[in-house]
Amino acid sequence: MMKDKKYLLIPGPTPVPPRVIEAMSRPIIGHRSAEFQTLMERVTGKLKKVFQTENHVLIMGSSGTGGLETAVANLVNAGDKVLALSCGKFGERFAELARIYGAEVDFVDFGWGYDIDLRVVEKKLAADPNIKVVFATQNETSTGVQNDIEGLGKIVAQHQAVLVVDAVSGLAAIDLKTDEWHVDVVVSGSQKALMLPPGLAFISVSDKAWEKIEKNTSPKYYFDLLKARKSIAKWNTAYTTPVSMVYGLEAALDMILEEGLENVFARHKLLAKATRAAIQGLGLELLAPDECASMAVTAVQSPMVVDADTLRKVLLRDYGVTFAGGQDIMKGKIFRIAHMGYADKFDVITAIAALEMALGKVGYKAELGAGVREAQMVFVGGEHA
């Protein structure tokens, strides 16, 4: 085999399209120049379309976690009551951040592999009118679960609390109507469905959230959203912008908008459906049930004959295919196949074909072609739908 031929199927960083790489190779311009201001104005307008919002959308040189910390640092004062909703590793991260900033955290763990129960949220908010912020994750990549953000938004909108959603891995893969669904703060990152390398975070902020931000007294410097808002009024950022990444961002946004948001969501849904059908065709068990399964990543329970990390090593060593492993309590128990961003039908076919061969090498009896056939059937049905 060609040893340098690799297939990256993890939920970030994801493969970067040649069109984006080409855009990022343009000569650097001054980040305080008029030319850059024009670029920022153009890119911000396109970003708002993907966020489906008329609110401010701010661009930061940061990882997705930096974006999450920005939301917490600007909304949480020491002693504030917050509600953190978790169904995996990244829901836990919001709670950890809120505690660091001195919040009184009501942490609700719905369990790994399950989604948020909206009835619990409704009861929590009704019982405590002093809750200032509700934190939730749109797409929990650690478990392959996606949450009902529309339903959550309806509940929180009736309360004085603001809703903050981690859409780092969900934006541009799963529908998120920021304004229509009453989501006050949405955080996303560059290296997932937005098809860029790591390095940018994005955050949209509603008027309701700005009111709380303007009264916030938590210490911050680089992550100060008031500074960011002041800078974006001049189509700039408060600190040095990763210029090449912004070039790439525009190229990625153009690809998404040319395909059309609804078509992008439909593509991700089809890839997820095919992946799940293929896994079941191989007799393997999925972690998340169908009703809350992610359209961006599929979590699979490893067969009893081998732990997931051993299987992943075989996939990489023999076939150049990289799946993600389980995190925390799921380490060694699951593997995760991403199908987000710059992904199509043959990424899924490749993933499943390699998985079939690797399973045989670790002692799990799987019929070669059984999973691929199930995925193909879904794709053929999708073409004829």
Residues forming the annotated binding site for substrate? 336
Name, in order, each residue with C-beta under 8 angstroms of 259's C-beta and a sequence gap of 6 or more.
267
Q: Would you say how long the chain is, in residues?
A: 385
152 contacts 108 by C-beta, under 8 angstroms:
no
CB neighbours of residue 38 within 10 Å: 11
Contacts of 304 (CB under 8 A, 6+ apart): none
Cα–Cα nearest to 258, from 19, 67, 58, 97: 19
Q: Express the helix, strand and coil content of the chain in percent, nearest 5 each.
A: 45, 15, 40
CB atoms within 10 A of CB 180: 11
Return all residues near 213 (Cβ < 8 A) that are at least 6 apart. 74, 75, 205, 225, 226
Q: Is the CB of residue 42 less than 8 Å from the CB of residue 59?
A: no
Pinpoint the alpha helices (H) of the chain: 18-24, 34-51, 64-75, 89-100, 118-127, 149-156, 207-213, 225-232, 243-259, 261-281, 308-319, 345-361, 370-384
CA–CA separation, 65 vs 291, rounded Å? 28
Whether omega for the bond prior to residue 13 falls within 30 degrees of 0, making it cis, is yes
Three-state SS at 380? helix
C-alpha closest to that of 297 among 4, 8, 46, 10: 10
Contact 240, 31 (CB under 8 A): yes
d(CA 274, CA 379): 7
Which residues are within 8 A (CB) of 19 and not within 5 positions of it... i.e. 6 or more apart?
251, 255
Q: Which residue, among 316, 305, 300, 268, has the nearest Cα to 371 in the 3D structure?
A: 300
